[in-house]
Chain A
Amino acid sequence: MTGVTIMTETEFQDLLDRYGADPDRWPAALVDRADRAMMVDPGLACLLAAEQALMQVLAEPVPAAGAALRRAVLDIPLDHPRGTKAPSAWVLLMAGWRQWMAGTATATAAALVGVVLGYGQMVPLPLADTVMVSATDDVTTLLSLTVDGDLSDLEVSE
């Protein structure tokens, strides 16, 4: 005997868990021990065969979905149209409140701007000045015309 201990079933199971069912992938140091163990205990060889069959079946390509199932799944959007939910009373109330608040805020802001500009006289009042200037011009013209007219009348009469 070489003194190499026989692999126990637990060790053999660990080997399969860790390295799989292909002995070519097992560490070389463990292959001999595993081979001996399988010769001593045929049940271990059967475990290996079972693992190989299991992995072979699990690796087989997955059958595709049937045409009827595919059709049914594709038709889900038609069978279950996703309509828009009717808004609740609360949502409607909040929407109205938001609109009212937006309008109020705009009006308040406009009024505030008007007050600031008005009190601060930051904006000239062109209409009033124009009226006053034109009125002054009219009076001056009238007076000058009147004075000139009177003098010429006097000269003629003399």
Chain B
Amino acid sequence: MMQVTDEMLVAQVATGDRRAYATLVDRHLDRTIAIARRVMRSEAEAEDVAQDAFLRLWRHADRFDAGSARFSTWFYRITTNLCLDRTRRPTMTTLEDAGDPADDAPDPERALTDQRTRAAVSAAIADLPDRLRAAVALTYQAGLSNADAAASLSISVKALESLLVRARRSLRERLAGWMTGGGLGE
């Protein structure tokens, strides 16, 4: 049986088909909230963005042009733009919030170590400039290809790759500083 593509579904949504809309929600909500969580600085804001993105899908599905982009590219561009439009406030999360890295420890403390590392990575990502954070979210959280992530950000693949290199270097250096306990140089 032929798989109904996202592009077919969005065409049905444009005619008011709620079942097609529900299918697109099933397919894309998790990745949408993942992007929003990574780019936004609070769960509440991330959920607002996700709802807003799907509201726009419901209202403006007729604006999607299957000839010019894939649905995922179009939709994650909407999501990313919503995130970037809202992230104009100074960050409230810092790497210090992650606490100190744990020393090598027996297994019972491994979970704590992982949790702290995870928190440190999240805090470091949260401190990245908006576009770097969006690039990381689209590529690593949403799992988009470089081409799709670049299209979602309306930039070239080369520019996306440059953003990712800058983001990773920044994250790596900050995490390395955190790991050695030498502070969190900006």
A54 touches B59 (CB 8 A): no
B50 touches A69 (CB 8 A): yes
B30 touches A58 (CB 8 A): no
Instruction: Count chain B residues whose beta carbon lies closer than 8 angstroms to a beta carbon of A.
Output: 38
Q: Which of B23-38 contact A (CB under 8 A)?
A: 25, 29-34
B121 touches A47 (CB 8 A): no
B97 part of interface (Cβ distance < 8 Å): no
B55 part of interface (Cβ distance < 8 Å): yes
Minimum CB–CB distance from A88 to chain B (whole Å) comes to 18
Interfacial chain B residues near A47, Cβ < 8 Å: 172-173, 176
Question: What is the 8 Å Cβ interface bit string for chain A, positions 21-57, against chain B (1 contact, 0 not)?
Answer: 0000000000000000000000100110111011011
Minimum CB–CB distance from A127 to chain B (whole Å) comes to 56
Question: What is the 8 Å Cβ interface bit string for chain A, positions 67-91, against chain B (1 contact, 0 not)?
Answer: 0011011101100101000000000
Interfacial chain A residues near B171, Cβ < 8 Å: 50, 54
Question: What is the 8 Å Cβ interface bit string for chain B, positions 53-70, against chain A (1 contact, 0 not)?
Answer: 011001100000000000
| Chain B residues in the interface with A (C-beta under 8 A) | 16, 18, 21-22, 25, 29-34, 47, 50-51, 54-55, 58-59, 117-118, 120-122, 136, 140-141, 165, 168-169, 171-176, 178-180
Give the 4 A-B CB pairs with smallest separation, nearest first.
A50-B175, A62-B34, A50-B176, A58-B140
| Chain A residues in the interface with B (C-beta under 8 A) | 13, 16-17, 43, 46-47, 49-51, 53-54, 56-60, 62-66, 69-70, 72-74, 76-77, 80, 82
